[in-house]
Structure 1
Amino acid sequence: MVYDDRVLAKLASATTATLTTVLFKKGIRNVWIRGSTPLVAGQPRVAGPAFTMRFISGREDINTPAAWSSPTSTRAAVESMPPGCIAIADALGRTDAGIFGDILCARMRARGVKGLISDGVVRDRVGVISSELPVWCSGIAAPPAVAQLAFVGWDQPISCGGVAIFPGDVIVADDDGAIVIPVTMVEEVAEIAAEQELLEAWILQEVQGGQPLTGLYPMNQENEERYRRSLQAR
């Protein structure tokens, strides 16, 4: 799925807190990916179409070093990632095997991937951070993925962190974690979120200026009119 850069820019300028509120008002609640937190605090907020990947529980006859060279491997998946996507991997929430390390993350960065999201963990912490690929995951583990998990494919529906994600959905991630926006709602949510960010910035300014919350958050008619006048004066 290819999105207009302006739509993705609007989403990248909105916090995941704002976006989850917008989605909640639209009746969509289960969007925050559990067990996926920033590997490093202060990573840039990212927004892009999901490139989905799926792991299943490992089994001794398929979990061998030969899996690294299989046509269905994490290496092959990385080489299929389009620029601007966000890689998101269902790792069953396993925290005892790192699904990606420094070399694969460096390659993703070179291909123009915006970030990696998973409910699992990564390995080679120092190298992954050095790759400058923003990563959201459940932590670090030294063993490779093949020690516990089997990679079975990409570009298909997955469940990551308890959230359903389809190829073409948009992922947004920041210091509060990662969320998914359904493909059918992306443009509408981007517009509403941009307006909500302006509104909340004005409310915060009013609060910092000493205004009480009553009638301000949420706003009554008087404050709504004051807000509209402030927009006209911009």
Structure 2
Amino acid sequence: MDASVKDALMGVTTATLTTVLLKKGVRFCYVAAARPIVPGPTRRIVGPAFTLRFTPTREDLATVESWSSPTSTRAAIEAMPEGCVAIADAMGSTQAGIFGDILCARMAKRGVAGLVTDGMVRDGAGVIGTGLPVFCQGYVAPASVAALNFVGWQETIGCGGVTVVPGDIVVADQDGAVIIPAALLEAVTEAAVEQERLEAWIMGEVEKGLALPGLYPPNAETKARYEQSR
């Protein structure tokens, strides 16, 4: 993605993005259940979506041997370009971890920006130790094949209630992960940067003791004062 757009989005919160996308008619953009694996302040990640899809396990398909197949999570990781955000549809399953520490370490080595999933990972301490930003429901012991069957990558998926198309933009921070449709990227980025500026100014007015009615959301008079301040 364009470096200037990425830099701009690195300064925009996911909370702001959900509001901007709502104004543009996109209601389902927030990936439910994808939280930072380490709670608290989290480095924001921005990058194009590299999608992965799991289905419910089937005993003849989801085997330990399947990890060596051409259609495997291992093969998918080797196809991930530097700077992408891997986003995996695990159907919200909490019964197994889709990736463990070795796979996350390989992703980090390849320069993948982060991993987002509506499911779980395994080897929690090891995954955290890789330094790869991970947004998920948590971590468990069982391997993916215990509950899930990996079926492919770089196709349209549903993750945490959001449709994700390869190349959409993923932004994730301590509040979770948001998907920006690729076709709306420039318009959303421009509006989000301006929204951040406006809200920073409004916060300054609140700290001065101003009341909220007419200030947030701003009425015509407030907007005029804001424009004058710029």
Q: Same fold (TM over 0.5)?
A: yes
Q: Quick one: which of 20, 23, 35 aligns to 2:21?
A: 23
Gaps of 5+ in 1: none
C-alpha separation in 2, matches of 1:180 and 1:223: 31
Match of 1:14 in 2: 12
Matches for 1:72-221 after TM superposition, within 5 Å? 72-221=71-220
* Structure 1 residue 85 displacement after superposition: 0.3
C-alpha separation in 2, matches of 1:152 and 1:6: 35
Matches for 1:48-67 after TM superposition, within 5 Å? 48-67=47-66
* Structure 1 residue 222 displacement after superposition: 2.0
* Structure 1 residue 221 displacement after superposition: 2.1
C-alpha separation in 2, matches of 1:50 and 1:131: 21
* TM-score after normalising by structure 2: 0.98
**Which amino acid letter does the alignment assign opposite residue 40 of structure 1?**
V
Match of 2:43 in 1: 44
Cα offsets for 1:59-111 (capped at 9, x unmatched)? 11112111110000000000000001000000011101000011111111111
**Which amino acid letter does the alignment assign opposite residue 223 of structure 1?**
T
2:35 touches 2:176 (CA, 8 Å); kept in 1? yes
C-alpha separation in 2, matches of 1:214 and 1:35: 34
C-alpha separation in 2, matches of 1:116 and 1:63: 22
Q: Percent of aligned positions with the same letter in both sequences?
A: 58
Q: How many residues align?
A: 229
Gaps of 5+ in 2: none
* TM-score after normalising by structure 1: 0.96
218-227 or 130-139: bigger deviation: 218-227
C-alpha separation in 2, matches of 1:130 and 1:102: 8
Any idea what SS the aligned residue of 1:27 has? coil
Structure 1 residue ranges (4+ consecutive) displaced by more than 4 angstroms after TM superposition: none
